[in-house]
């Protein structure tokens, strides 16, 4: 691989994982917000991280999500290579909309372009999972996969390797609210019950089947009926003030449904049209104004592309 | 509704429920075997059952599966009506391929034709479930729904009413073996664990999502990867001699996968082509010949129609 002075610029989108009933298996990419990452090959082997924002994330490659993902990818390349990555994050760490996954996915998609698309998307997911592991201690792919494939993805299984199934969904508007409270992924994991009733599990996999079918059949009513989580939401929603008001108000305003994004604290709601998504935005704003909680709202849509190279070296 | 001397003849197919990972939510109809049912309206209100086979099933309508389904349907009709049904079963009771569901589904489809298609398929499912309840004590719809809709169906939920989602599957060959042992549905229910680990439940709903996507995307490889049941099969398969040999031998012969049909004792395997389905048949025959167990084998396909009226009154 020859040294190249070219720079690629990648937009790496926020993503929603744990999509209601699809805990650990369903995720989708958002059209906004996006991190911006610029990568170039260097003569000096190894990875250099430059943060171009105020989040004060680690720059040591093994402790940085993008760095760990790139190191995993470089180990799969026979020649000694160096890469420098400059990161300007727009997705707030800890928001629950895949901030770390965006860094990991954007890094490997960028380097792969510099390597003339040497690796498949499935391989990129595996490299990026090594980055996610730095952030959460868990090798999960439900933010990574939609970040790399775009759209809505099912991760059928992660063992032995991730089995990613892109689901061709109909147009959907997404309203996301990030209330400024802290929910640690590790706390959110710990609160889960390790055993669930068979009856609840059956109800959940009926809904997963319904949601997958609704997306593939472009059946909005079926999507709406399937957006029900009887296992994780009842436990985790108690960590998020305003959850119930947002959910009930959004459905009353016409949303198809929604729930906790990732392990929270962000909440998301899906709507069939933009006017409904705006009504949902109003519900979210009123709820958190009343609670006196600072919050950010994104009114966006599903991003069918995932990470995108915005220049063409 | 005027009295009519016309007779309808219905073919009511066998069905496979509890399709591997899709316990309680996925089922499909088989092209064979089929029960044959002849229905006609009578001047005398009520239901008359005539058995035209050697299975010695009850003829009292409240204790007969077809009878109970017809009585439920008649309660939804304002005028006093009578119906006589003559049943020639080909699907052996207790075989695990939806013998009782065929009687219930065939009965309501037949009467609905005599009533000029007054009721929707969704309503017919509800009437037929009243018949299933007589047979198993449980109002389940995963044999009824494919019997009425045909093809492969997802029953997303049965409460408050059955939410049936037809899944447009690619061509599939089905090899079914019915070893002549008795597995009571009630015993098969009792052996199930009431609690399952969250980890297993996640693996199962990943597979349900994968199977639904594989069917709708006509992706045979994905169907094959998703035919895995980590919850019910490990417990129930011990009730069925030869299970492991049949499953492993069938996969080695090229089958996509399969498992227990309903609550057993029948086993089924799905194949992409007929030659593989025949190789699976040989595996099944050898296994049960070696075990010295009487058995019936059906080499068939998925029936896209469900119950069919074969004359046209």
* Mean pLDDT on A111-137: 93
Any CB–CB contact under 8 A between B22 and chain A?
yes
Note the pLDDT of residue A313.
Answer: 58
Catalytic-labelled residue, pool A15, A185, A276, A300: A185
The answer to whether the bond into B33 is cis (omega within 30° of 0) is yes
- pLDDT > 70 fraction of chain B, expressed in percent and rounded: 97
CA–CA dist B225, B251 (Å, integer): 11
Place of tokens 């792969």: A112
Among B139, B156, B222, pick the best mutation site for testing chain A contact (most A Cβ within 10 A). Answer: B156
Least confident interval from A6-15, A95-104, B52-61, B181-190: B181-190
ipTM: 0.95
Chain B residue closest in CA terms to A204: B205
CB contact under 8 Å between A156 and B210, yes or no, is yes
CA–CA dist B243, B236 (Å, integer): 10
CA–CA dist A167, A154 (Å, integer): 7
* Mean pLDDT on B225-247: 96
Tokens of A249: 């108000």
CA–CA dist A91, A100 (Å, integer): 9
Phi-psi region of B10 (alpha: psi -120 to 50; beta: other; left: phi over 0): beta
Would you call A185 a catalytic residue per the annotation? yes
Least confident interval from A1-10, A247-256, A292-301, B142-151: A1-10
Note the pLDDT of residue A103.
Answer: 96
Taking a C-beta distance cutoff of 8 angstroms, is the pair A107, A66 a contact? yes
Q: How confident is the model at residue A182 (pLDDT cuts 50, 70, 90)?
A: confident
Burial of B150 (0-12, 13-18, 19+ CB in 10 A): buried
CA–CA dist B134, A309 (Å, integer): 62
Which chain A positions have a beta carbon within 8 Å of B192's beta carbon?
A: 198
Any CB–CB contact under 8 A between A165 and chain B?
yes
Note the pLDDT of residue A135.
Answer: 81
CB nearest A156 (choices: B193, B198, B209): B209
Q: Is it the case that residue A232 has pLDDT exceeding 90? A: yes
Tokens of A287: 């709820």
Q: How confident is the model at residue B1 (pLDDT cuts 50, 70, 90)?
A: very low
Q: How confident is the model at residue A1 (pLDDT cuts 50, 70, 90)?
A: very low
Question: Which pLDDT tens digit goes with each residue over B8-35?
Answer: 999 999 999 999 999 999 999 999 999 9
Any CB–CB contact under 8 A between A194 and chain B?
yes
CA–CA dist B177, B285 (Å, integer): 8
What is the longest distance spanned by two Cα atoms in chain B? 59
CB contact under 8 Å between B205 and A154, yes or no, is no
Taking a C-beta distance cutoff of 8 angstroms, is the pair A147, A12 a contact? yes
Any CB–CB contact under 8 A between B98 and chain A?
no
Of the two residues B158 and B139, the one the predictor is more confident about is: B158
Alpha-carbon torsion B276, B282, B284, B286, what sign?
Answer: negative
Q: Is it the case that residue A73 has pLDDT exceeding 60? A: yes
Note the pLDDT of residue A134.
Answer: 86
Note the pLDDT of residue B272.
Answer: 98
Phi-psi region of B191 (alpha: psi -120 to 50; beta: other; left: phi over 0): alpha
Which chain B positions have a beta carbon within 8 Å of A226's beta carbon?
A: 156
C-alpha count within 13 angstroms, C-beta hemisphere, residue B252? 9
Chain B residue closest in CA terms to A213: B212
Q: What Cα–Cα distance (Å) separates residue A283 from each residue in A246, B14, B71?
A: 6, 50, 48
Query: What SS3 state is found at A50?
Result: strand
- pLDDT > 70 fraction of chain A, expressed in percent and rounded: 98
Place of tokens 């049943």: B87
CA–CA dist B120, A161 (Å, integer): 44
Tokens of B135: 């047979």
Among A205, A221, A227, pick the best mutation site for testing chain B contact (most B Cβ within 10 A). Answer: A205
Q: How confident is the model at residue A312 (pLDDT cuts 50, 70, 90)?
A: low
* Mean pLDDT on B227-239: 95
Which chain B positions have a beta carbon within 8 Å of A198's beta carbon?
A: 192-196, 231
CA–CA dist A210, A1 (Å, integer): 47
Q: What Cα–Cα distance (Å) separates residue B158 from each residue in B73, B205, B213?
A: 18, 18, 21
Q: Is it the case that residue B137 has pLDDT exceeding 80? A: no
Return phi, psi of residue A161, to 5°. -130, 160
Residue-range domains of chain B with CATH:
7-167+303-309 (3.30.230.10), 173-301 (3.30.70.890)
Catalytic-labelled residue, pool B126, B132, B133, B233: B132
Tokens of A273: 């049209």
Note the pLDDT of residue B312.
Answer: 65
Which chain A positions have a beta carbon within 8 Å of B198's beta carbon?
A: 192-196, 231
CA–CA dist A125, A123 (Å, integer): 5
Chain A residue closest in CA terms to B155: A206
Catalytic-labelled residue, pool A126, A132, A133, A233: A132
Taking a C-beta distance cutoff of 8 angstroms, is the pair A193, A236 a contact? no
Among A160, A197, A213, A216, pick the best mutation site for testing chain B contact (most B Cβ within 10 A). Answer: A213
Any CB–CB contact under 8 A between B197 and chain A?
yes
Question: Which pLDDT tens digit goes with each residue over B71-121?
Answer: 999 999 999 999 999 999 999 999 999 999 999 999 999 999 999 999 999
Q: What angle do CA A4, A99, A208 make, to 5 degrees?
A: 115
CA–CA dist A65, A103 (Å, integer): 6
CB contact under 8 Å between B163 and A217, yes or no, is no
The CA distance from A199 to the nearest CA of chain B, in Å, is 8
Helix, strand, coil share (%) of chain A residues, nearest 5: 40, 30, 35
CA–CA dist A63, A69 (Å, integer): 10
Single out the residue of A86, A76, A78 nearest to residue A110, CA to CA. A86
Question: Which pLDDT tens digit goes with each residue over A240-297?
Answer: 999 999 999 999 999 999 999 999 999 999 999 999 999 999 999 999 999 999 999 9
């Amino acid at each position: 691989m020859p040294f190249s002075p070219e720079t690629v610029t990648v937009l790496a989108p926020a993503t929603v994982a744990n999509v209601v009933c699809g805990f650990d298996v369903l995720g989708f990419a958002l059209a906004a917000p996006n991190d911006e990452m610029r990568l170039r090959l260097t003569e000096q082997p190894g990875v250099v991280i430059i943060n171009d924002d105020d989040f004060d994330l680690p720059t040591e490659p093994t402790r940085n999500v993008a760095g760990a993902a790139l190191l995993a990818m470089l180990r799969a390349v026979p020649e000694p290579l160096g890469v420098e990555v400059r990161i300007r994050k727009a997705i707030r760490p800890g928001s629950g909309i895949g901030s770390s996954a965006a860094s990991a996915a954007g890094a490997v998609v960028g380097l792969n372009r510099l390597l003339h698309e040497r690796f498949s998307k499935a391989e990129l997911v595996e490299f990026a999972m090594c980055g996610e592991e730095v952030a959460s201690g868990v090798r999960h792919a439900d933010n990574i996969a939609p970040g790399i494939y775009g759209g809505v993805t099912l991760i059928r299984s992660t063992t032995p390797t991730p089995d990613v199934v892109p689901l061709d969904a109909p147009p959907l508007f997404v309203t996301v609210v990030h209330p400024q409270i802290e929910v640690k992924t590790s706390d959110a994991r710990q609160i889960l019950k390790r055993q669930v009733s068979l009856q609840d599990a059956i109800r959940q996999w009926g809904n997963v089947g319904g949601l997958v079918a609704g997306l593939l059949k472009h059946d909005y009513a079926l999507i709406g009926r399937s957006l029900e989580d009887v296992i994780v939401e009842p436990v985790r929603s108690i960590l998020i003030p305003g959850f119930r008001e947002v959910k009930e108000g959004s459905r009353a305003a016409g949303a198809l449904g929604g729930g906790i994004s990732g392990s929270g604290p962000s909440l998301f709601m899906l709507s069939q049209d933009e006017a409904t998504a705006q009504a949902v935005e109003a519900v979210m704003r009123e709820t958190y104004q009343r609670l006196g909680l600072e919050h950010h709202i994104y009114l966006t849509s599903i991003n069918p592309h995932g990470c995108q190279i915005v220049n063409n070296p």
